[in-house]
Structure 1
Amino acid sequence: MRIFLFVSYIIVVASHLITAQGVAVFNILDDGAIGDGTTDNTQSIRHTLIRAADYNLPSIVLVPAGDFLTGSLQIPSNVSLHLASNAILRASDNASLYSCVPSITTDTGPCDYPFLLVDHAHNVYLEGEGRIDGGANSPPGHLVRDYKESSNMLIPIEWNLPNCSGYSCRPKLLVVRNSSSVNLINITITNSPLWTITIVESDHILFDNVTIMGDRRWPNNDGIDLINSRHVIIRNSNIIAGDDCIAIISHGPSSMFNITVENMNLQSTSAGIKVSAYDRNSTGNMYDMIFRNVRITDTNRGLCVAPRWGSNIISNLLFEHMNIETRFFGLDWWGSAEPIYVTGLSTNADQLWTGMLKNITFRNIIAKGEQGFIVRGNTSILENIHFENISLTIARWSNVTEHPAHDYRPSQEPQMAWAKVDGIFAMDIDKFYLQDINIDYQQPRQSYYGQCLNLSNITQMVQNNIQCQNIDYFISGQNSIEKLHMIYLFISLAFFYYFIL
């Protein structure tokens, strides 16, 4: 009876297993893979994936315990790539094992060279207790060319590959293109040489309990990049990266919407969360995004909304229930220790931002930073920006010699504006709301401390319960409407005292 029950759950058929649910299990060992960390397993694992694809029903490709070195792999529809406990799927540093995949992004050249690719697929899973390693700074990858001590930055090796330029000549770890129902669950990804996970023109994507551990000294190793995608959930995950932990970017006409990020721990030498547009064809609107229950620590820039090229509308963004801690990392890294940073600027005279930022709310946030909040428009006026129940502590604790500035990179000159650290620096905004704000400058007072609120060109300003501690100046740079109110008040008082009293 026990033998019958066992066979009813797992049946061996044609060198793969069938579970009771009818799911086939294809073990890469059956195609000759060797998990010794040095053998090239590219062809054997590709063959396993082909067999799973030919099954035409949901199947599992099993990576058992071991260290499996391989070149690029494509994961087909209806396949779950399962990494068992103590399994490592490691990217090879042999450039000949990678192929060009056309890229739609303007900042990484015409080709991507992904380690793992999901293309025009559906119902795909990457899951398990094992690990995917990009080999950036671990043997046998060794893609490090140099080290810049002044900014604690590793300088990567760029491969000599066709149709790539600059930092695009490195493999992205996972690229998902034109796909749906792709799920990353309980997986760990380490040491990506470039962007770790890139989702392009895809929908119904789930990240749940994902751990991404990049080297914080490594430039351009973003955690998750969402490009022209929608219906995405990122939750219960931990990301450490040298570049942005989560970047939501428009690079074309497709709209991006219904994106939720929640219950996250983030650390970055750049931004924790970034929302942007960066393409002349960025015309698809970006809207209905919720970011909540996020902890950002030891990071160069916390929350960043910063379009630089395109003409779309970015609206209906909610950031709530967050703890943010930012510090200054040095001039080689974009950002200047801002817990919250919202700017609508153009990259240059040829790469113009002509869109609109509106309906953005930050609420129930506790922040500590070496810089204050920066909120400013330029080529367009920001509209309907809300700060509600915010506590900001400004203090100095890094050992970087330069003090924080206004860092607008990439942007038209000046890209860096040396300025004092204000609690909230805001300009070019229509409908700006501040409700229950507490700003505390910690002592000892630094020479570059500025003012609690530094505001200019603000219309329809509403302030209620603003508390500023350990700072000499409360507000400066009032807009023209506020100045008119002050002039009117002065004239009224003068008239009262002169003619009535």
Structure 2
Amino acid sequence: MRNRKMTFSIQSAIVTLILYSAIIQSGSYTSSSIRLPHSQSRSPPVTVSVTEYGATGDGVHYDTEPIQSAIDACSSAGGGRVVFPPGNYLTATVFLKSRVVLEVHKNATVLGGTRLEDYPVEQSRWYVVLAEDAEDVGITGGGEINGQGLEFVVRFDERKNVMVSWNQTGACSGDECRPRLVGFIRSKNVRVWDVHLTEPAYWCLHLVQCDNTYIHDISIYGDFNTPNNDGIDIDDSNNTLITRCNINTGDDAICPKTYDGPLYNLTATDSWIRTKSSAIKLGSASWFEFKGLLFNNITIVESHRGLGLQIRDGGNVSDITFSNINISTRYYDPSWWGRAEPIYVTTCPRDNTSKTSSISNLLFVNITATSENGIFLSGSKSGGLSNLKFLNVNLNYGRWTSYEDGLVDYRPGCQGLVNRSSAGIMMEHIDGLEVENVNMRWSGDRVKKWNNPLDFRPSSVDNISMINFHSSSF
């Protein structure tokens, strides 16, 4: 190890923060930058009620055809809003069209069907509400879209529920054959705001190859023991803003992925998260580049992981900023990925057919964490982890659950769960780490077996600078 300050520029991150603050304070990030769905209409927007087309809203009879008829009529008229008055609207998949906003009023609930025949033949289109190749679309109104996820539980389990899997029908393979809640695929100018998304059977809000998306002032709730009920998954989508959201769910809360293309310019801010998995997680699907992401002013509570990068498939990650984040993490059953790490950065090939990825230029600034485990930073012998900076970070470690500790979790792939002594920061295969104004404290008899504040493997950790680093116990 050479005690040499690495070259790490944070100017671009600071500029991004300044520009973001100016935009929010000025109120300019409105429908002028994310166009409202009726902005390209050739005629004045119309308002259509689903009840005009025969929807009963009794929660018993399917309202699929009336809802779809209202959407089609609104789109044909040039666009506008499709209104759901108070009531419970049971439906199979409905398809949102260009220039249409679904306005689900307060005390109105759209209920997703729970039968396989309620969804299209193609598993990729299993959503309660789906927009494909659409422009200027949205969902709002103060009401609720509910996937009835608990109806998909085969056996309730305090550790992790056992879920319905339609693979038994031959519809798909694996144990994740359940419908998502809301999806936007290859769509532009998407806006979702002032709506409650609840009880997804699988992923909740899914963006796929979308551009120019604004998600704000929504709540997402999923059963805490249900696997795979992610909050917001952003796949191969660019120019996305997520702000003022409340996410309380069992699986990853905000999860950028790259399956078929790169992901650029994502900002998530001013939000509250609780999850039994990762609050923010890049990956694990990571075949293409992630670049230019900002996560700012976020509160994470009682989560299994706080900030995570799980890069496994050959896509590179660079220029990511995490700022002004308050984290609390704790142990849950090891059947869930994660071991209470407030920050978790890993890159390693998923298997022997996977390409090597690199992670570089990560900035963690103004981070406060209270957790049952330390930070874990791991590159691989063939995959680089370089140029990480921790600035103004306060870490507090203790134990308050009875779950086993002393395990490092590399899942998925790589090495699985590995026994290793706990430490404040665990490091391996890193080239370039700068730590400045970092305070670390641990307390209680149950953490006495921690060997060191810092645990690194000298042969694989190089170019470290420690400026104003403090550790103590109490």
For residue 77 of structure 1, what is the amino acid of its counterpart? S
Task: Pick closer, same or farther for the CA change 1:111–1:22 going to 2, 3 Å.
Answer: closer
Task: Pick closer, same or farther for the CA change 1:277–1:93 going to 2, 3 Å.
Answer: closer
Q: Is the 8 A contact 1:251 1:277 kept in 2?
A: no
C-alpha distance in 2, partners of 1:59/1:236? Answer: 25
- 1:339 is the counterpart of 2:342: yes
Structure 1 partner of 2:164: 157
C-alpha distance in 1, partners of 2:268/2:361? Answer: 18
1:316 CA displacement: 0.1
- 1:453 is the counterpart of 2:462: no
Q: Is the 8 A contact 1:113 1:169 kept in 2?
A: no
Q: Is the 8 A contact 1:259 1:290 kept in 2?
A: yes
Q: Is the 8 A contact 1:228 1:256 kept in 2?
A: yes
C-alpha distance in 1, partners of 2:300/2:355? Answer: 28
Query: What SS is found at the alignment partner of 1:49?
Result: helix
Structure 2 partner of 1:490: none
Task: Pick closer, same or farther for the CA change 1:345–1:323 going to 2, 3 Å.
Answer: same
Task: Pick closer, same or farther for the CA change 1:242–1:249 going to 2, 3 Å.
Answer: same
Structure 2 partner of 1:372: 374
Query: What SS is found at the alignment partner of 2:114?
Result: coil
Structure 2 partner of 1:88: 109
- 1:294 is the counterpart of 2:298: yes
Please give the root-mean-square deviation of Cα atoms over the aligned residues, in Å: 1.5
- 1:126 is the counterpart of 2:139: yes
Q: 1:33 pairs with 47, 52, 55, which one?
A: 55
Structure 1's consecutive aligned runs of 4 or more residues displaced over 6 angstroms after TM superposition are none
Query: What SS is found at the alignment partner of 1:47?
Result: helix
Task: Pick closer, same or farther for the CA change 1:52–1:168 going to 2, 3 Å.
Answer: farther
Q: 2:267 pairs with 247, 257, 260, which one?
A: 260
Q: 1:210 pairs with 214, 218, 231, which one?
A: 218
TM-score (norm 2): 0.88
Task: Pick closer, same or farther for the CA change 1:155–1:445 going to 2, 3 Å.
Answer: closer
1:211 CA displacement: 0.4
Q: Is the 8 A contact 2:348 2:357 kept in 1?
A: no
Structure 1 partner of 2:201: 193
Q: 2:277 pairs with 267, 270, 281, which one?
A: 270
1:65 CA displacement: 0.4
C-alpha deviations, 1:9-44, integer Å up to 9, x for none? xxxxxxxxxxxx922111000111111111111111
- Map 1:38-117 onto structure 2 (within 5 A): 38-55=60-77, 57-101=78-122, 111-117=124-130
- 1:169 is the counterpart of 2:173: no
C-alpha distance in 2, partners of 1:395/1:112? Answer: 45
Structure with greater Cα Rg: 1
C-alpha distance in 2, partners of 1:29/1:320? Answer: 46
Unaligned 5+ segments in structure 1 are 1-20, 102-109, 472-501
Q: Is the 8 A contact 1:42 1:71 kept in 2?
A: yes
1:445 CA displacement: 4.1
Task: Pick closer, same or farther for the CA change 1:404–1:113 going to 2, 3 Å.
Answer: farther
For residue 325 of structure 2, what is the amino acid of its counterpart? M
Query: What SS is found at the alignment partner of 1:167?
Result: coil
C-alpha distance in 1, partners of 2:297/2:182? Answer: 26
C-alpha distance in 2, partners of 1:190/1:348? Answer: 35
Task: Pick closer, same or farther for the CA change 1:161–1:79 going to 2, 3 Å.
Answer: farther
For residue 327 of structure 2, what is the amino acid of its counterpart? I
The aligned length equals 428
1:120 CA displacement: 0.1
C-alpha distance in 1, partners of 2:81/2:373? Answer: 49
Unaligned 5+ segments in structure 2 are 1-42
Query: What SS is found at the alignment partner of 1:306?
Result: strand
Q: 1:360 pairs with 355, 359, 362, which one?
A: 362
Structure 2 partner of 1:237: 245
Q: Is the 8 A contact 2:224 2:275 kept in 1?
A: yes
Q: Is the 8 A contact 2:399 2:446 kept in 1?
A: no
C-alpha distance in 1, partners of 2:254/2:355? Answer: 21
- Map 1:409-428 onto structure 2 (within 5 A): 409-412=411-414, 414-428=415-429
For residue 359 of structure 2, what is the amino acid of its counterpart? L
C-alpha distance in 2, partners of 1:112/1:403? Answer: 40
Query: What SS is found at the alignment partner of 1:148?
Result: coil
C-alpha distance in 1, partners of 2:228/2:194? Answer: 24
For residue 391 of structure 1, what is the amino acid of its counterpart? N
- 1:442 is the counterpart of 2:451: no
Structure 2 partner of 1:383: 386
Structure 1 partner of 2:45: 23
For residue 271 of structure 1, what is the amino acid of its counterpart? S
C-alpha distance in 2, partners of 1:404/1:131? Answer: 42
Q: Is the 8 A contact 2:176 2:228 kept in 1?
A: no
For residue 146 of structure 1, what is the amino acid of its counterpart? R
C-alpha distance in 1, partners of 2:323/2:316? Answer: 21
C-alpha distance in 2, partners of 1:147/1:188? Answer: 24
Structure 1 partner of 2:10: none
C-alpha distance in 2, partners of 1:419/1:275? Answer: 24
C-alpha deviations, 1:246-275, integer Å up to 9, x for none? 1001112x2211110000100000000001
1:206 CA displacement: 0.7
For residue 50 of structure 1, what is the amino acid of its counterpart? D
C-alpha deviations, 1:418-471, integer Å up to 9, x for none? 122100011111111011111101122435423101122222111111111029
1:112 CA displacement: 4.1
C-alpha distance in 2, partners of 1:300/1:424? Answer: 17
Q: Is the 8 A contact 1:183 1:206 kept in 2?
A: yes
Task: Pick closer, same or farther for the CA change 1:27–1:404 going to 2, 3 Å.
Answer: farther
Query: What SS is found at the alignment partner of 1:168?
Result: coil
RCO higher in 1 or 2 (8 Å CA, sep ≥ 6)?
Answer: 2
For residue 85 of structure 1, what is the amino acid of its counterpart? K
